[in-house]
Each structure stands twice: as structure tokens, then as C-alpha cells.
Amino acid sequence: MKLSGKTIQILKNFSTINPSIMFNKGNVLSTISPLKTVMARVTIDENIEQDFGIFDLNRFLAVLSLFDDPELILCENYVKVSDGRKSVNFIYADPVTMILPPNKEIKVGEPYISFDFTAEVQQNVLKAAAVLQLNTVAIAGEDGNLLIKAINPQNSSSNAFELTLGNTDKKCCINFDCNNLKLMSKDYKVNIAKGIGHFESSDGLNYWITTESSSKYED
């Protein structure tokens, strides 16, 4: 088995959510953060022949980078990574040592609000949050406008950034911890129900991210 560059990029992103991963038989990869505030799931092009766990995903990816065209041979207790004369035996992890996602995707339910979240908007708001040292990205409905903001919800007088996404009849301020917005740089369709947001790209990459308790919804 060989992993495409696209799949390796997904794994690099997943390693920022959870340092471990379970490869399940089939063609679906998923992960969940240790605090269970972020879950991600995607269908990949490759077909995984058997279940195996990797405890240190970053180290595994670093091993792959040692090879020009690595092939993965799944053995009983380890995956053999080889390319010509070179090889590395990478030992599987015991699943009991890992925090694993549920086997099925999360059902969000009826969305409270929906919008398009482009890669450009994502970059702008997260960069602003970093520059202004703010910890929260908010989706706000105010005076008929749908806004995305970088804020400090504990201090209304602090610096803030906002960008208009469109129009809405909702009045809300739905907050996400910046540390949970570990999205790949893509365009997403976002559906937010009370308590959770579902981010889905056109190529089938899905994230479910919990909203913060400081969020406010008005019917």
C-alpha cells in the first residue's frame, strides 16, 4: 500500500487534533481530540487492508519522509515501510493506549444557522485572532448581518476583528475556541446546531467542533 500526497496532508492535519490514530480496515480515516471537542472524518482513495494503530503519528509521518516512494506492508505486529534497499519496521500501538473516535459520524440535527466558510475567511479570522491575541472565533447575527469575529468573550472592551459573511435573521453569538479550529485550508459548508458545528468540504472532509458555553442563541 502507498499513501498519496493528499492522504499524507490529511494525516498531518489529523496529527494536530490527536497525536495518535487508528487505521481501520477500509477507506475511512477519523480522529478525535483528547478532550473530545473536535472530531474529523474523511474517505480516502486508498484501501486499508487491516486495522492497525499508530501511537505517534508525527513520528510515523517523519519516517515516511525518509523515503522517496514509501510502500507500506502491513505485518502482524508492525508496518514495514520500504523503498528499494531501505526499510523501517514501525510497531503498532495497542488501541487501549489511544483515544479513539466513535465508529460513525456525528448527527448534528436541524441547523440553527448555516453559511459558507471559505479558506480566505478562515485565514483572515485566525490570523487576526493571533495578531490581536484573542482566543475565540464567533459567528454573530447582528442587525440583519452575519459576521465572523475574533473576540475575547470575557472582555467586551478588548480589541476585536470582524468580517461580514452575509445576511441573516438570527440574533446570536456562537463561539468556538481558536484551539479547536484545526481545519485544513479549504472551503467549507458550515451547519451549526446548538452545541456543535459541522464543517464539510466539497471533497468530503468533515469536522465536528463543539461550541463554547459562552455562546448565545436567540430564537
Of residues 97, 14, 11, the one with CA closest to residue 53: 97
Task: Specify the long-range contacts of residues 164-171, CB closer than 8 Å, at least 24 apart.
Answer: 165/115, 165/116, 165/121, 166/115, 168/113, 168/141, 168/144, 169/141, 169/144, 170/112, 170/113, 170/141, 170/146, 170/218, 171/141, 171/142, 171/218
- What letter represents residue 18's amino acid? N
| pTM, rounded to two decimals | 0.94
- pLDDT tens for the chain, 219 residues long, are 999 999 999 999 999 999 999 999 999 999 999 999 999 999 999 999 999 999 999 999 999 999 999 999 999 999 999 998 899 999 999 999 999 999 877 888 889 999 999 999 999 999 999 999 999 999 999 999 999 999 999 888 889 999 999 999 999 999 999 999 999 999 999 999 989 999 999 999 999 999 999 999 987
- Tell me the sheet residues that pair with 71: 82
- In the block, cell 496532508 appears at 9
